[in-house]
Amino acid sequence: MVPALSAAQTTQVASVFTLERNVAMKTRDGVTLRADIYRPPGDGPFPVLLQRTPYDKQNAFPMAQKAVARGYMVVVQDVRGRYTSMGEWYPFKHESEDGYDAIEWAAALPKSNGKVGMFGGSYVGATQMLAAIAHPPHLAGICPVVTASNYHENWTYQGGAFEQWFDQSWTAGLTQNTMERTAYGASNALVAAKTLPLTQFPVFNKQLDMGSPAATAELAPYYLDWLAHPTYDAYWKQWSIEEHFADIQVPALTVAAWYDIFQDGSLRNYLGMKEHAGNDAARNGQRLLVIIGGHAGGGRKIGTVDFGPAAEEFEENDAALEWYDYLLQGKQNRWADKKRVRLFVMGANEWRDEDDWPLARAKATKYFLQSEGKANGAGGDGVLSTGKPGRGADTFIYDPADPVPTVGGPLCCDSAHEAPGPRDQAQVEQRGDVLVYTTPPLDQDVEVTGPVMLDLYARTTAADTDFTGKLVDVWPDGLMQNMTEGILRARYRASTTDEPTPIEPGKVYEYRIDLWSTSNVFKKGHRIRLEVSSSNFPRFDRNLNTGKDAAMSADFVKATTTVLHDAQHPSALVLLVVAGQQ
């Protein structure tokens, strides 16, 4: 990283580019935002690559160094209320207007050719999407990496459940900079993960050395607002990308990842822009790259699995530069090809180019749940079969005081305490409150590429409860590799966009649980497995089984839940099997 320089100071870095630090820009409402500007040698003009970040603009130096060497001017700006920029920090609230203003400002800077592309991932991807829906005239393209499409459903909630680990750990991490502005200290989400109600989650007051919910209200009011809006209401719709795909008028390279917390949102962004963007050039200009880890990690080894040398080919900055070499400099690289999609196929551990997503040749295949009534744990009698529905049912007791622990998966943002990615599920599958259904060892490779759905028929003694599903690849050596997972809160079985619909205890309902997507070759000798339960904590908040939200209540009861899988209730895991691979 370049040593910090005083405001508006300019320096020459290794005679390769000029760096101007902390350049002020005024937003339309008069707030000062500051950016670092990297200019290549020469008179230009140059295309501009812009990043707007809440994570300290100095961290973009490695990308800027690469980009200026390829003929780009780079502008990296701290978003409102973060680091060197003034104003109030509140996620999503100002990013459309501020993004528009920053793009038009950057396009008019000396040596700019007036074409601006944006880059970066996670919330930095959100700053791109939110700017793009404002359709600034000089925005030429975006490259959003592992980011969401709807900040309710695939950022703060999933299937009606609160994304507790992400919401609390991300909030705690972000408040560090806010605390430094207001004399507070740091926070660790793990310390308070079991705090109920969730509104009492404390950020930590350095001066008092104790948890303070009042400090949360002061330093992260958005966290409390998220809890106050559990449904997809006007609060969320005002900045939902999914409501505004038609307003996006530029090509995009969307980067998704199989083990990423925003996998579903990234795939929705690609599909939404491809189908609904505001002009033909934008719709035809959509490209999708699906990697392995995203927030779960990079390189060839992610979690406990080595994905081989091909996995090392992806590097986020290089991918973005290759995209803009094509889009802004006219170079005929892989993104000039007619194939829109490039994805990593796990199991086979190779990259593959595809015409589109999902794959047209993939066939929906039902794997029916079967047992003799004792599918509890990996040692039970649960079976997955493509033949026909089984008979009977399986029962487990869900106790919110002892929830099924999160082991790996699409996690963010404190990997020191909750390790993400593929992890051995042996610990989870020893529990009696986890139903396990497994195929016999496969007699040939089976490729599963596409969305994964669990169609579950169940009843419960509770006024409300959750249903979780997890797809697992069981290796011959005993490794139980989680592939993808999902959750559905019973009262949101119809839709998370409307008011919840209570369930009647003891009544059987059909629950369609979205397990997101994957691309994996289950190799010969491996087994396909499904886990079913009612909790995945602390990734998701615990359902209290009372019908009340954990946001405001601390009381809970146990629930006895029964999963049915007979001819009248054909519970099934639905996988998209690539033609010719089953």
pLDDT per residue over 468-518, tens digit each? 999 999 999 999 999 999 999 999 999 877 789 999 999 999 999 999 999
User: Terminus-to-terminus CA distance in the chain, angstroms?
Assistant: 50
241 or 210, which is more confident: 241
| pLDDT over threshold 80, residue 201 | no
Distance of CA 235 to the CA centre of its chain: 20
Domains located in the chain, CATH noted? 9-145 (3.40.50.1820), 155-229 (no CATH), 244-356 (3.40.50.1820), 362-578 (2.60.120.260)
| pLDDT over threshold 70, residue 421 | yes
What is the identity of the amino acid at 90? Y
Over residues 85-110, mean pLDDT: 97
Per-residue model confidence (pLDDT) at position 176? 79
Per-residue model confidence (pLDDT) at position 371? 97
| pLDDT over threshold 70, residue 447 | yes
186 or 502, which is more confident: 502
Active site residue 260: yes
Distance of CA 514 to the CA centre of its chain: 14
Confidence of residue 180 (pLDDT cuts 50, 70, 90): confident
Per-residue model confidence (pLDDT) at position 212? 60
Confidence of residue 100 (pLDDT cuts 50, 70, 90): very high
pLDDT per residue over 370-404, tens digit each? 999 999 999 999 999 999 898 889 999 999 999 99
| pLDDT over threshold 70, residue 8 | no
Active site residue 78: no
Please tell me which residue in 85, 96, 112, 122 is annotated as part of the active site: 122
* Predicted TM-score (pTM) above 0.85: yes
Percent of the chain with pLDDT over 70: 92
pLDDT per residue over 322-350, tens digit each? 999 999 999 999 999 889 999 999 999 99
Per-residue model confidence (pLDDT) at position 203? 64
Report the C-alpha gap between 403 and 413 in whole angstroms.
Answer: 21
98 or 183, which is more confident: 98
Report the C-alpha gap between 438 and 383 in whole angstroms.
Answer: 5
Asked if 291 and 313 touch (Cβ cutoff 8 Å), the reply is no
Active site residue 417: no
Please tell me which residue in 78, 167, 260, 394 is annotated as part of the active site: 260
Per-residue model confidence (pLDDT) at position 582? 40
Maximum distance among all Cα pairs of the chain, rounded to whole angstroms:
76
Per-residue model confidence (pLDDT) at position 581? 45
Per-residue model confidence (pLDDT) at position 579? 80
Per-residue model confidence (pLDDT) at position 216? 79
Mean of pLDDT over the chain: 92
82 contacts: CB under 8 Å, gap ≥ 6? 53, 54, 55, 56, 89, 177
pLDDT per residue over 140-166, tens digit each? 999 999 999 999 998 999 999 999 999
Q: Can you list the alpha helix ranges (DSSP code H) found in 374-500? A: 426-429
Over residues 121-139, mean pLDDT: 98
| pLDDT over threshold 60, residue 187 | no
Choice among 43-52, 380-389, 406-415, 529-538 with the minimum mean pLDDT: 406-415
Report the C-alpha gap between 493 and 504 in whole angstroms.
Answer: 13
Over residues 20-26, mean pLDDT: 98
Per-residue model confidence (pLDDT) at position 5? 42
Whole-Å CA distances, 449 to 470, 482, 578: 15, 15, 7
Report the C-alpha gap between 517 and 259 in whole angstroms.
Answer: 9
Phi, psi (deg, nearest 5) at residue 356: -165, 180
549 or 147, which is more confident: 147
pLDDT per residue over 251-310, tens digit each? 999 999 999 999 999 999 999 999 999 999 999 999 999 999 999 999 999 999 999 999
Confidence of residue 37 (pLDDT cuts 50, 70, 90): very high
Residue with tokens 């949360």: 216
Report the C-alpha gap between 68 and 25 in whole angstroms.
Answer: 22
Specify the 3-state DSSP secondary structure of 389. Answer: coil
Question: What is the signed CA dihedral for 434, 435, 440, 441, rounded to 10 degrees?
Answer: -20
Per-residue model confidence (pLDDT) at position 275? 98
Please tell me which residue in 152, 295, 526, 565 is annotated as part of the active site: 295
